[in-house]
Structure 1
Amino acid sequence: MFQNNPLLSQLKQQMRESKPRVEGSVKANEKGFGFLECDKKSYFITPPAMKKVMHGDKISAVIETNGDKEQAEPEALIEPMLTRFIAKVRFNKEKKLLLIVDHPNINNLINAVKAADINEELQEGDWVVAELQKHPLRDDRAFFAKISQFICRADDHFAPWWVTLARHQQPRTPVAGLDSYQFDQTLSRQDLTALDFVTIDAASTQDMDDALYIETTDNGWKLWVAIADPTAYIPLDSQIEQDARQRCFTNYLPGFNIPMLPRELSDELCSLMPQQKRPALVCTIETDRTGEISSEPHFSAAWIESKAKLDYDEVSDLLEQVENHWQPNNEKIAKQIELLHQFALARIDWRKTHALLFKERPDYSFELEQDGKVKAIHAKHRRIANQIVEEAMIIANTSAAQYLDQHAKCGIFNTHSGFDPKFQQAAHDFLLATLANDDNRAELAQRYSVENLTTLNGYCQMRHDIEQYDFSFLEMRLRRFLTFAEFKAEAAPHFGLGLPAYATWTSPIRKYSDMVNHRIIKQCLLNQSAVKPTDDILTRLQEARRQNRMVERDIADWLYCLYFAPLVEQQPIFNAEIQDVSRGGLRVQLLDNGASVFVPISTLHDKKEETTLNSDELALYIKDQKTYQIGDPVQIKLVEVNVVTRSLIGNVVL
């Protein structure tokens, strides 16, 4: 009687339209239900309703009320969580192709087809890229996707690399090269091949882009920094230039790198190999005995010949007088090492007073078997040879910033403006609350005023001040107030380095920004008008830097899990440092190997109501007592490894 009754249908529609609607993001639970997270409230989503959506979808929903309980009924899709995504191949009993999304919170199995141009015969567990084609809220059907790219087989030991590069749409092969390269002879070049230039690098490095030579003067030192000159072989309108501009950086990954330039350029023709004549851009810098630059740096095009390829560890062993240390094979090389060492120590002292030094933290490297399996993880501390090269590159890049600003009025400058404007007041308040007492409050209120902290001198003064306190905590807490580093086309301060301007040109084989600065320096040497870098180049550099960091982090997380998975049953214990404190628990870094481990709050105290997060201190209070704070050392027992989600779980050892 009521079937197909238009009045009844109209009444149902009116009732539905009268119900409240909300917009929010779907948060899935592993048990099948979910929540719609709105601005101020969350609503329950039933398991049947969750089949229409997936974690991360932005949707609108009708709020249904049953007694005193409210739940969300998905109605319309605003923005899907998935468009392009990474997945693993699965076949059901009927051999139907399905996809498992590579995301820790998405458990939906998605029906799929393979694009016609994919020739590989898909197998269970293969890694692929797919595009979401249909969504239940948009197409009134089940989820459906098309596989657009084959990545690798399930048993490929290099899956962490290939999958991560595909996820971030990064290439896995070098830039295509040419059969031959024409050398640009526009610039006249000074012959410096008689000087005893040396390179200092890792033993395995092939793309050597800097060489050093130093002499003493009556008042201090004269340093020559020679940098490889790839733009002498790369026309501005070439495909290599376009590809380098898109990649922006050589991608340094565990075990190997993916160069920004063709390998025959980066590893051979441009690399400053020993006993090989190479074109270079050279900066000559004079300093006094304190390391202060004493005259205007000079740039020139030149020919140089490295007299030796030195190894970081061997040079460090020599200077640190390690037992049975390496010895250079002639007195000229030994003299260069001695003078470079003296110069670096002077520059370190100079920067300690007039600029800012980096906090000493180790770099972590994966030692791999030939098949890609992790053999060991090493903490590499910056030794004296690393510091020699670092100091030479910093003074060279400072000199380039000065030169570009003065002669070209443009360039690509690495800048950092200190505290984010929206956190400047919070930084002032934190410093005052942490460091001030009744005797010095008025003085520090002025010293750390917002106006003072926004100047380079005021910021550097503050950083020098906090070195006498618990620097690890203060440095990590203040880091939350900082803005991000930026590339700019005009000179601006770099607060992180404590320098008035900074422009890198010392890695043109590895960084596109340095190639651009090389071209501008050459324009100045030729008395040509400098071409200002465009905004799209700066934007791409910023994005590429972010992508490369994410790629490196994601591969490392995966490799840590593969390395620790066989060891977790032993529940090994590690020294660690707390990196973050949240309502969910602690994020710590293992000091021996750099792995990031999560410690759930439920393992820290059994009564949730007795735990309080202090977001200003980034500290966790238990029974009103500060118990855990960022920067604190802790011991961690590793208790769980989840290779699927690439996560490590640990407990604090009390």
Structure 2
Amino acid sequence: MTEDDAQSAAGTAEGQGPVEIDEELARHMANKREELFEKFGIRDEFPADVLEEAEARTEDVQQEIQEEVDERRDLREMTTWTTDPIDAQDFDDAISVEERDDEYVLWVHIADVTHYVNPETRMWEEAVERGNTVYLPGYTVHMLPPVLAETVCSLVPNEDRLAHTVEMHLDKEDLGYEEIEIYKSVVRSDARLTYTEAENVLEDPDSADALLEDPEVDLAEKTELVWHLADAMHEQRKEEGSLVLNPSRDRAHTIIEECMLKANKAVTHELMWDRGVEAMYRVHPQPSPDEWDEALREIQELDGVSIPGEAWDDPRRAVNATLEQAPGRQLDKIQWAVMKVMPRAKYMNDPFGGHHALNFEIYGHFTSPIRRLSDLINHWIVYTNDVPEDLVALCDRASDRQKDAEQCEREYKDFLQEVGLDPAAVNNRGIEVVEDEAEGNSAEGEAGTEVAADE
């Protein structure tokens, strides 16, 4: 969830109830969604044969996993956990970590979606058609059937699951990759943490006990370790020129963001440098010097904002430094000044040009195969070392569908504001339809723009 493709799952925020609306407004919202889905060619319902295929793959799950154990790396004894929003329904990534004398070892386990969804299946065809999951405030249109994504492809706690693991050995001094391994595995998550629970564990290690089935699991110790690693990776990214548009991101989100970025970068490093194969790389062109100058001048003119003199030579560092010192009321305006001049990121079969916002020479997506076509295809390429014949068309398809999804989201948010609802409150807390019209149009909550890294 991203500097160029921010997507946050809709749902109920911890500690707050849903936004209440009346039945008439609920119908009005449903009609607007249908109108937008038709405009952007978004399919809300899954074809019957796709659903039947998905349901069939959820049968005899544990037996199938047991049959796979001998063919995979068995990581079930390793401390492993997921961290997601409170309302998350599928858990497709988990982490494990160790500190050794001269290195950190970070494991990012991703649900092995391509074990169930491959080019011979109707689910694959439907995923290509959809391109990505579409997140609207209070409503989600999935790329894969939830009956599959929320069961066998979900790394739920205390159950064996098939995964695709990225194992990274990181030098303690510079956090560079000493070794990268990508392999099929069997994992067993010890805990499902919400972001708030992860923060609580960092504040009070004893709170981890209530989240565990096995009290001997060292979850608090591992969470503390991965936070220090993630914080170091985050500071290193900023130092190396990565654009960070949300300087106040909490520790739990920073952990997930940095671990996923590190895993995505590792996979595309392996594909490009070690294998030399085409893949779905994420390319983000840079603004022209004039466009950057325009953005920096607009930022400099904001009340209470000053760009540090030593930062002007590098626009990304200038923005980072300014955001850290600017008054909170100006953060959205600074972010918007930057986003206006940023070209769209796109998927390409060649990484030429790199990812400007992240300042990565090579980058691609791997960690979200449940919600992004690019990740699903990259999983298949990593596993088979075989590139789809229509890869260029698939890159274009994924880029176009993402653009449509983002425009659909923008127009739906505009509509919500027109009818008196706060999109951020709806997105964070969900919707409840009530009969009493006097309670309709309730839209308490804080509006705001969340900009995360292109993980």
TM class by smaller structure: 0.7 to 0.9
C-alpha RMSD over aligned residues: 3.6
Out of 116, 123, 134, the position equivalent to 1:233 is 116
Amino acid at match of 2:36: T
State TM-score, norm by structure 2.
Answer: 0.73
Q: 2:345 aligned with 1:485, yes or no?
A: yes
Q: Is the 8 A contact 2:158 2:188 kept in 1?
A: yes
State TM-score, norm by structure 1.
Answer: 0.52
Q: Is the 8 A contact 1:505 1:514 kept in 2?
A: yes
> SS of the counterpart of 1:213?
strand
Query: Any idea what the Cα deviations from partners look like across 1:542-585, whole Å, max 9, x if unmatched?
Result: 111111112212222222233359xxxxxxxxxxxxxxxxxxxx
Query: Any idea what the Cα deviations from partners look like across 1:75-98, whole Å, max 9, x if unmatched?
Result: xxxxxxxxxxxxxxxxxxxxxxxx
Q: Is the 8 A contact 2:243 2:316 kept in 1?
A: no
Out of 262, 267, 270, the position equivalent to 1:403 is 270
Return the alpha-carbon distance in structure 2 between the equivalents of residues 540 and 505 of structure 1: 17
Return the alpha-carbon distance in structure 2 between the equivalents of residues 433 and 259 of structure 1: 38
Out of 442, 446, 451, the position equivalent to 1:592 is 446
Out of 166, 169, 189, the position equivalent to 2:38 is 166
Amino acid at match of 2:194: D
Q: Is the 8 A contact 2:299 2:337 kept in 1?
A: no
For 2:418, the equivalent position in structure 1 comes to 561
Q: Judging changes above 3 Å, is the alpha-carbon distance between structure 1 residues 250 and 291 closer, same or farther for their aligned structure 2 residues?
A: farther
1:311 positional shift? 1.2
For 1:391, the equivalent position in structure 2 comes to 258
Q: Is the 8 A contact 1:424 1:481 kept in 2?
A: no
For 1:353, the equivalent position in structure 2 comes to 239
Range moving further from structure 2, 318-327 or 241-250? 318-327
Alignment of structure 1 residues 431-442 onto 2, 5 Å: none
Query: Any idea what the Cα deviations from partners look like across 1:161-191, whole Å, max 9, x if unmatched?
Result: 3332233221122463214139797993111
Q: 2:196 aligned with 1:339, yes or no?
A: no
Query: Any idea what the Cα deviations from partners look like across 1:316-359, whole Å, max 9, x if unmatched?
Result: 13324699999544352222212111211111121121241422
Q: Judging changes above 3 Å, is the alpha-carbon distance between structure 1 residues 510 and 464 closer, same or farther for their aligned structure 2 residues?
A: closer
Query: Any idea what the Cα deviations from partners look like across 1:234-281, whole Å, max 9, x if unmatched?
Result: 231222111100101112222232211112211111111111111111
Q: 2:376 aligned with 1:506, yes or no?
A: no
Q: Is the 8 A contact 2:292 2:315 kept in 1?
A: no
Out of 424, 431, 434, the position equivalent to 2:289 is 424
Query: Any idea what the Cα deviations from partners look like across 1:192-240, whole Å, max 9, x if unmatched?
Result: 1111110111222121110101011112310110000111112312221
Alignment of structure 1 residues 91-106 onto 2, 5 Å: none
Q: Judging changes above 3 Å, is the alpha-carbon distance between structure 1 residues 530 and 591 closer, same or farther for their aligned structure 2 residues?
A: same
Structure 1 alignment gaps of length 5 or more: 1-151, 362-380, 436-443, 449-457, 566-589, 596-654
Return the alpha-carbon distance in structure 1 between the equivalents of residues 260 and 144 of structure 2: 21
- Number of residues of Structure 1 aligned to a counterpart in Structure 2: 376
Amino acid at match of 1:481: V
Return the alpha-carbon distance in structure 2 between the equivalents of residues 305 and 536 of structure 1: 37
Q: Is the 8 A contact 1:165 1:172 kept in 2?
A: yes
1:400 positional shift? 1.1
Q: Is the 8 A contact 2:279 2:381 kept in 1?
A: yes
Q: 2:280 aligned with 1:412, yes or no?
A: yes
1:532 positional shift? 6.3
Q: Judging changes above 3 Å, is the alpha-carbon distance between structure 1 residues 557 and 325 closer, same or farther for their aligned structure 2 residues?
A: farther
Q: Judging changes above 3 Å, is the alpha-carbon distance between structure 1 residues 156 and 591 closer, same or farther for their aligned structure 2 residues?
A: closer
Range moving further from structure 2, 220-229 or 293-302? 293-302
Higher percent of residues as helix: 2
Range moving further from structure 2, 529-538 or 350-359? 529-538
Q: 2:57 aligned with 1:181, yes or no?
A: yes
Q: Is the 8 A contact 1:418 1:459 kept in 2?
A: no
1:534 positional shift? 2.2
Return the alpha-carbon distance in structure 2 between the equivalents of residues 358 and 298 of structure 1: 28
Return the alpha-carbon distance in structure 1 between the equivalents of residues 410 and 196 of structure 2: 26
Alignment of structure 1 residues 129-168 onto 2, 5 Å: 155=27, 158-168=30-40
Amino acid at match of 1:504: H
1:426 positional shift? 5.1
Higher percent of residues as strand: 1
Return the alpha-carbon distance in structure 2 between the equivalents of residues 468 and 157 of structure 1: 38
Q: Is the 8 A contact 1:416 1:495 kept in 2?
A: yes
What percentage of aligned pairs have identical amino acids?
23
Q: 2:131 aligned with 1:248, yes or no?
A: yes
Return the alpha-carbon distance in structure 2 between the equivalents of residues 324 and 270 of structure 1: 28
Q: Judging changes above 3 Å, is the alpha-carbon distance between structure 1 residues 195 and 468 closer, same or farther for their aligned structure 2 residues?
A: closer
> SS of the counterpart of 2:106?
strand
Q: Is the 8 A contact 1:356 1:460 kept in 2?
A: yes
> SS of the counterpart of 1:501?
coil
Q: Judging changes above 3 Å, is the alpha-carbon distance between structure 1 residues 214 and 433 closer, same or farther for their aligned structure 2 residues?
A: closer
Return the alpha-carbon distance in structure 1 between the equivalents of residues 35 and 234 of structure 2: 41
For 1:14, the equivalent position in structure 2 comes to none
Return the alpha-carbon distance in structure 2 between the equivalents of residues 285 and 255 of structure 1: 36
Range moving further from structure 2, 460-469 or 185-194? 460-469
For 1:534, the equivalent position in structure 2 comes to 391
> SS of the counterpart of 2:162?
strand
Q: Is the 8 A contact 2:108 2:263 kept in 1?
A: yes
Query: Any idea what the Cα deviations from partners look like across 1:288-333, whole Å, max 9, x if unmatched?
Result: 3356124131111111111111111111133246999995443522
Higher relative contact order (CA 8 A, sep 6+): 2
Return the alpha-carbon distance in structure 2 between the equivalents of residues 387 and 469 of structure 1: 20
For 1:549, the equivalent position in structure 2 comes to 406
> SS of the counterpart of 1:292?
coil
For 1:207, the equivalent position in structure 2 comes to 90
Q: Is the 8 A contact 1:414 1:494 kept in 2?
A: yes
1:530 positional shift? 4.0
Q: Judging changes above 3 Å, is the alpha-carbon distance between structure 1 residues 181 and 517 closer, same or farther for their aligned structure 2 residues?
A: same
> SS of the counterpart of 1:158?
helix
> SS of the counterpart of 2:107?
strand
